Amino acid sequence: MNTPLANDTFLRALRREPTAYTPIWLMRQAGRYLPEYNATRARAGSFLALCKTPELACEVTLQPLERFPLDAAILFSDILTVPDAMGLGLYFAEGEGPRFERPVRDEAAVMRLAAPDPAAELRYVTDAVRTIRAVLAGRVPLIGFSGSPWTLACYMVEGGGSADFRQVKTMLYRRPDLLARILEVNADAVAAYLNAQVEAGAQALMIFDSWGGALADGAYQQFSLAPMRRVLAALARERDEPLLDAAGRIVGTHKVRVPVIVFTKGGGLWLEDIAGIGCDAIGVDWTVNLARARERVGDRCAIQGNLDPMVLMAEPAQVRAEAVKVLDSFGAPRGGAGHVFNLGHGISQFTPPESVAALVEAVHDHSRRQRRNEASASSL
């Protein structure tokens, strides 16, 4: 915990400070496209066992960093740990997505909901954070995360994934009071969960609003954005980190801001709204033009994104060309802008690992070149 960071490029970009290059990490970077991940998962017996065993969660968190010079690690976990800890009974049916044994469908079920104590039911997550920080030993920062209150509510009410969100939207339009109650409990639960992750060592946070984009304009602001604002307001935004002297020796601690990224998939129309809820960065998917996003968001937030993960199905030369397009569309990050390169969605299990190698290299190389060109242009 006391090791200073060897590479803080990711945190600097989120704080919109100058960086030598554009940092990159990938959603689901520890995942099924890596043979070593599949081996650890097989050892664990199941995906949930992997999430709930801190040593194994740590092992898979580190795996992509051994292969690729990524600029951040992200806690290996599932976005549904919180409703699972509420007693809804998370399970994964073979070949299907997540399901809950006891979905929240009626008033009685809503009234029974309570925010879990992260120190008890979610202890395995904070244990994993502590273990990962120790093993990372300051190589790169560790990101903690949670699903957004609305996204958790989707799974809790639907009882699993959904194509049309019929159950949760029926509740939204028929009984908005019940949905509001769920979102209140979720917001408090998510805030406590994220604070526990920071206390355990998470150096940045990301809120995955995977299903915010399924909401109508107006409904999004009320049922997804407002609960996220509530979460952000309840977060401890600082943590103690080692303070170094000129020789790199630890001479004490100082308060460091814990930046928070909010990612509403399909939320490209609402960037101005998202920028107003107090997050440090906005995640954007590949439908968003980064130049326009940067104009719209201004210097209020950094931007994270937004390569289509399917680009990684192409040959390395094409992967590089598409990475350059994304970097060029953002442009050189000057004047208080910040860019973190990422995909616009989780990496596909069918991704060839050599595509990821080509991507990371292209992002680092081209973004250094952008800064050099910028510097030589401004020195003319």
Binding footprint of a second copy on the chain (CB under 8 A): 164-166, 169-170, 172-174, 213, 215-220, 266, 268-269, 286-289, 306-311, 313-315, 318, 322, 325, 329, 344, 348, 350
Active site residue 174: no
The answer to whether residues 237 and 257 touch, using CB atoms and an 8 Å cutoff, is: yes
Tokens 């990684």 label which residue? 312
CB-wise, 138 or 213, nearer to a second copy? Answer: 213
Out of 12, 15, 16, 28, pick the active-site residue: 28
Out of 21, 33, 155, 193, pick the active-site residue: 155
What is the phi-psi region of residue 336: left when phi exceeds 0, alpha when psi lies from -120 to 50, beta otherwise?
Answer: left
CB-wise, 15 or 169, nearer to a second copy? Answer: 169
CB-wise, 219 or 226, nearer to a second copy? Answer: 219
- At 153, list the tokens: 């509510």
CB of 285 to a second copy, least distance (A): 9
- At 176, list the tokens: 């908005």
Amino acid of residue 238? E
> CA-to-CA distance for 372 and 42, rounded, in angstroms?
46
CB of 109 to a second copy, least distance (A): 19
CB of 226 to a second copy, least distance (A): 17
Active site residue 41: yes
CB-wise, 38 or 222, nearer to a second copy? Answer: 222
CB of 45 to a second copy, least distance (A): 26
CB of 320 to a second copy, least distance (A): 12
> CA-to-CA distance for 102 and 104, rounded, in angstroms?
7
Out of 12, 15, 16, 41, pick the active-site residue: 41
61 CB burial (10 A radius; 0-12, 13-18, 19+): buried
CB-wise, 201 or 266, nearer to a second copy? Answer: 266
Tokens 């960086």 label which residue? 19
The answer to whether residues 128 and 188 touch, using CB atoms and an 8 Å cutoff, is: no
CA 279 to chain CA centroid, nearest Å: 12
Active site residue 209: no
What is the phi-psi region of residue 215: left when phi exceeds 0, alpha when psi lies from -120 to 50, beta otherwise?
Answer: beta
Strands 90-92 and 204-209: unpaired
CB-wise, 7 or 287, nearer to a second copy? Answer: 287
> CA-to-CA distance for 41 and 60, rounded, in angstroms?
9
CB of 228 to a second copy, least distance (A): 17
- At 67, list the tokens: 């292969």
Active site residue 32: yes
What are the residue numbers of the active site? 28, 32, 41, 78, 155
